[in-house]
Amino acid sequence: MIDGELTQDELKAIETHLAGCASCAATLEDMRKAVGHLQALEQVEPPPWMTQKVMARVRSLDTVPGKKGFLSWLFHPSGLKIPLGAVASVVLAVTAYFIFEGIIKDMPVRKTVQVSETEKQTAEESRQIPSQPYAPAPAPDRMRENRQSAEKAPAPKTAPPQDRPIVTDSAKDTGENRLWKEEETFRAKPEAPPASMSKPEYRTAPSVAPVPSPARETEQKDIGELRKSKQAGASGMSAQRQYDKAESMPEEYAPMKAKKAARASAIRKSSVFFHVEADDPAEAAARTITIMKEFKGMNIRKEIVGDKSLVKGEINAVSLNRFFDRLKQTGNVREKKAPALFHNNDVLITVEIISGQ
Amino acid sequence: MSNMLDNIGAVKVDDDRELVLLSQQGDQYAFEQLVIRHQKKMVNIAFRITGSYEDACDVTQDAFVSAYKEIKRFELRSRFSTWLYTITVNLSKNRLKQINTARDRHEISIHAEEGAVHIDPPSQEMSALEALEKRDVKKAVQDCIAKLEEDFRIVVVLRDIQGFAYNEISEMLRVAEGTVKSRLFRARDMLKRCLKGRFGEL
């Protein structure tokens, strides 16, 4: 009846029945209303970038020459292209350089320094990682290359012997010694649309790559700009390779990417819920945010749902107990749900704050 | 209801025919027109099935890409849109399973804001109270839909929200029309009970 699909006879029969049966009539009426509510739901609008993104993926399907399937998946998992040609030629150039150095400057090596991530970069990378977790083939090789070559070819490239700095200055060591964390850094983000990524950008770390012990130099490859060579005299500079995705991505993609990463990470990461009753929920929320910041929380955000405040953030699992202790200072806390084990280091914390009154 | 009018008289006249033929010959511009034409419907189908706008956008993209890859194999015997929406429904189902599995595994509790995105209608000449009530009802409806099991949810979404005809739904889900109808009846019944439970009366 609701759908208007009955024949005349069927309709008549039912109407006759309904005339005499109040409960059936009521049921039908309720059903109509329920369907009415459904039909009244508004349609959502697709996001403005939908067409562009679809077509970008579609185009990349066609332009990967003949290598559909596995290889295509390997290098273009989201269908977007990485300029592998550019990457490959840079790798070759770097390798060639190191070999050259090794042959020319035959010196005993001290393997010193690599480049480390700043916290911010780590945060940025790890936030972007989950959606496309793979490392392109060239990158790890390149890093190993870098280390090995650093072992073989230590001398600064620009220094004539007398200019070689002897790094004893401990002031230069602090904060400027960087460690290259292989497993953390290099996962390329193949999500930037092809147009915006013409070549990978190499950022040179503004530091010397000094050595803790005196009378030794480190040599690091400087790819890209030679910044601050005056800082270290003529010593080599540490180079930090990194795809600067955030800059190359058009603005409209960034929030979606962040959301997608957050979303993916929400699914993948372990989650913990805390339920807080506080006399002043707003204040408790503010304090919760402060606490999360203390614990170097990432992706901290506050949402309001009805009469509840939700503070969310991601912190390292090892800090969880201390976080919980600190949180207790804000109000009456209950741990709502916690997974049995933490699959990875970061945990998504959701703190639900309601009024205790 | 505007969403029902789109499918009145589901005759097998395919407005997309020309564009599909061109796309099959590799004309990406033609395919782009199809993308523009159908994305809204697909996002809505995916949204109501998965309960998540973000997942709906992902699913829609995937569906288009999948359709593009397979378009040469599409025979114009049935409507292109039906075929496209079938892909969407299937991918939505898969995504829903993933969401639920992830949810169960990590014991993420189902927060209201994850499933029910508040889409407020433009409140023209509505009092604040009316607007609030209306929003509550919509939220309740969304919540109740989310409680339905997959198969029931899908028929309700396709029929009562998206307005597809029984024969189209039957084609999309590859079940008999009778099955569609009986599922729909049960789904509506469950929804009715759920809504009644929330509001006391409808």
Domains and CATH numbers, chain B: 13-115 (1.10.1740.10), 127-202 (1.10.10.10)
pLDDT band at A77 (very low <50, low <70, confident <90, very high): low
* Chain A interface includes B10 (CB < 8 A): no
Please tell me which residue of chain A has the smallest CA distance to B23.
A58
User: Which tokens is B141 given?
Assistant: 């409806």
Classify residue A260: in a domain, yes or no: no
Whether A254 is covered by a domain: the verdict is no
Q: Is residue A228 one of the residues assigned to a domain?
A: yes
What is the least distance, in Å, from the CA of B133 to any CA of chain A? Answer: 13
User: Shortest CB distance from A57 goes to which of B43, B61, B112?
Assistant: B61
pLDDT value at residue A343: 52
The helix/strand/coil state of A214 is coil
**Rounded CA gap, A279 and B193, in Å?**
37
**Which residue from A minimizes the CA distance to B138?**
A41
Higher pLDDT, A308 or A260: A308
The Cα–Cα gap between A308 and B66 comes to 41
Answer whether residue A336 is part of any domain: yes
Give residue A189's pLDDT: 44
Answer yes or no: is A1 within a domain: no
Closest CA in chain B for residue A258: B54
Number of C-beta neighbours around residue B18 at 10 A: 11
**Residue A315, domain extent:** 269-355
Percent of chain A exceeding pLDDT 90 equals 4
Q: Tell me: do A334 and A243 sit in the same domain.
A: no
| Integer CA distances (angstroms), A32 to A21, A24, A37, B67, B192, in order | 17, 12, 9, 36, 9
How close does chain B come to A170, measured CA to CA in Å?
47
Q: How many domains does chain A have?
A: 3
Q: Do A51 and B54 touch (CB under 8 A)?
A: no
Cα separation, A41 vs A159, in Å, equals 72
User: What is the Cα A85 distance to its own chain's centre?
Assistant: 25
Contact list in B for residue A260 (CB cut-off 8 A) is 54, 58
User: Are A206 and A119 in the same domain?
Assistant: yes
| Contact of A179 with A220, CB cutoff 8 Å | no
Are A233 and A274 found together in one domain? no
| Residues A107 and A235 both lie in one domain | yes
Q: What is the distance between the alpha carbons of residues A282 and A308, in angstroms, rounded to a whole number?
A: 10
| pLDDT tens for each residue of A211-234 | 444 444 444 444 444 444 444 444
* Domain contains A263: no
For residue A2, is it within any domain?
no
Do residues A90 and A232 both lie within one domain? yes
d(CA B121, nearest CA chain A) in Å: 7
Which residues, numbered 15 to 54 in chain B, qualify as contacts with chain A under a Cβ-Cβ cut-off of 8 Å? Answer: 26, 28, 31-32, 35-36, 39-40, 42-44, 47-48, 53-54
Q: What is the pLDDT of residues A112-131, one digit of tens each?
A: 444 444 444 554 554 544 44
Q: Residue A96 falls within a domain, yes or no?
A: yes
Which residues of chain B make contact with A47, given a CB cutoff of 8 A?
57
A213/A274 same-domain check: no
Statement to judge: residues A73 and A217 lie in one domain: yes
**Residue B200: half-sphere exposure toward Cβ, Cα within 13 Å:** 0
Averaged over successive runs of 10 residues, the pLDDT of chain B (202 residues) comes to 50 78 92 95 95 94 95 88 95 92 67 49 58 77 90 94 93 94 93 83 62
Q: Are residues A235 and A317 in the same domain?
A: no
Distance of CA B169 to the CA centre of its chain: 11
Put simply, the answer to whether A259 touches B189 (Cβ < 8 Å) is: no
Q: A274: buried, middle or exposed (CB in 10 Å: 19+, 13-18, 0-12)?
A: buried
Of B53, B106, B111, the CB nearest to A270: B106
Sequence-separated (6 or more) residues with CB below 8 Å from residue B108: A266, A271, A337, B102
Same domain (yes/no): A315, A346:
yes
- Say whether B166 and A336 touch across the interface (CB within 8 A): no
Do A145 and A240 fall within a single domain? Answer: yes
- List CB contacts (< 8 A) between A312 and chain B: none
- Percent of residues, chain A, with pLDDT higher than 70: 44
The Cα of B113 is separated from the nearest Cα of chain A by a number of Å equal to 7
CA distance B24 to A172: 63
Asked if B110 has any chain A CB less than 8 Å from its own CB, the reply is no
